[in-house]
Copies of this chain bind each other. A is one copy, B any other.
Amino acid sequence: MLGNFTYCNPTKLYFGKAAVENLRTELPGYGKNVLLVYGGGSIKKNGIYDQVVSILRECGKTIAEDAGVMPNPTVEKLHEGIARARACKADLILAVGGGSVCDYAKAVSVSVNCDEEPWDKYFIRFEEPTCPIVPVACVLTMVGTGSEMNGGSVITNHAQKLKIGHVFGEEVFPKFSILDPTYTFTLPRYQMISGFYDIMSHILEQYFSGTDDNTSDYLAEGLLRSLIHSAPAAAKDPTDYEARSNIMWTATWALNTLIAMGKDTDWEVHMLGQAVGAHTDATHGMTLAAVSMAYYRHILPYGLARFIRFAVNVWGVDPAGRTDGQIAEEGLRAMEKWMKELGLVMNLRELGVTEDMIDGLVKSTLVMKGGYKVLTEDEIRSIFKESL
């Protein structure tokens, strides 16, 4: 049964080859000063930087730059961004990059005019912005986080060993995003397949919750089947436009609030993975992959009916002649096989985790309440141990 909800997603998307040209349509709607936010500089090598800057100049914008956004953007970097946005009196923050860059741009956006410490206000106390927001737009170069069409923003505090996400309301969503699948072609393989698993994890976190019948779960199954079909083709040939375009579109809908409407959601895999990220700085999607199988096998008995549905509807497991438990396990086995064939990291050691770090990981793991089992500290510890 769908619970009550409000749905609104006003982000405008320009999708396809040469979609960046649509910047010309959108830019006149904003003031003169643009803060161009990006990461480690790969956009300078693949030509995206030049394309964007030349359109900004043609549209008469004054460009200030904020480069060097790291894969897990830090509180320190956030303060640097705030200072830059204030210095240039930014009318628009244009994020050119993947989810980290877009997440970071949103964090800057709600902090530029904020008198309080943004880490405390937004990521510890989970408050909503009470100050004017600087609009954000996005040119996406890596898929996975859905940040191009949602209010999510994840920031890492290394001093506190915390990596925390805040999901802001629709006024913080990017005003528009440019999604050109060819912009993702040059992404290194490790980041690419890590992003693919991030997408799958987003869908699963919303799917593995609730016991009733719900349109959202049928949509989730559709997205999963599309991803399962396209990811191996993209891994084989990263320039397969059909696969990359479908994955890009799936990623957006995997985390733009639609498939969470009217239902509970889990998100415990993200809490486990984010704890690993805070301690190791490992790539986000790989931290999720490394803990997923142990987590799902652990909660399977508490959500058996959904795991059976997952096996049959998503992985095409034939239920004939199998017990309920066997059907459910067969679905997880199919998922594990798919993950291994993609080349995902299936254990924590490979991400730099050692046994003596586990107590720290347990301490950094937030416990969520929407899934099939609210984890105890002992359960979290044993999931980390099984994932080593």
Using CB atoms and an 8 Å cutoff, list the residues of chain A in contact with chain B.
1-19, 22, 181, 212-216, 218-223, 225-226, 229-230, 241-243, 245-246, 249-250, 253, 258, 261-262, 313
Compute how far the CA of A164 lies from the CA of B113 in the bound complex, rounded to whole angstroms. Answer: 50
A384 to chain B, nearest CB (A): 34
Compute how far the CA of A15 lies from the CA of B12 in the bound complex, rounded to whole angstroms. Answer: 22
Copies of this chain assembled into the complex: 2
| B230 & A226 in contact (Cβ 8 Å cutoff) | no
Which 6 pairs from chain A and chain B are nearest by CB? A4-B16, A222-B222, A218-B226, A218-B222, A8-B12, A1-B242
Compute how far the CA of A8 lies from the CA of B179 in the bound complex, rounded to whole angstroms. Answer: 13
| B15 & A242 in contact (Cβ 8 Å cutoff) | no
Compute how far the CA of A262 lies from the CA of B249 in the bound complex, rounded to whole angstroms. Answer: 10
User: Known: A15-B5, A16-B2. Contact between A215 and B246, CB under 8 A?
Assistant: yes
Which residues from chain B contact A11 at a C-beta distance below 8 Å? 8
A15's closest neighbor in chain B, by CB?
B5
A3's closest neighbor in chain B, by CB?
B16
Compute how far the CA of A223 lies from the CA of B217 in the bound complex, rounded to whole angstroms. Answer: 10
Compute how far the CA of A11 lies from the CA of B6 in the bound complex, rounded to whole angstroms. Answer: 11
Which residues from chain B contact A4 at a C-beta distance below 8 Å? 15-19
| B246 & A213 in contact (Cβ 8 Å cutoff) | yes
Which residues from chain B contact A262 at a C-beta distance below 8 Å? 15-16, 245, 249
| A214 & B8 in contact (Cβ 8 Å cutoff) | no
- 6 inter-chain pairs at a CB distance below 8 angstroms, sorted by A residue, are A4-B15, A6-B14, A213-B230, A219-B253, A220-B222, A222-B223
Which residues from chain B contact A18 at a C-beta distance below 8 Å? 4
A212's closest neighbor in chain B, by CB?
B242
Which residues from chain B contact A220 at a C-beta distance below 8 Å? 222
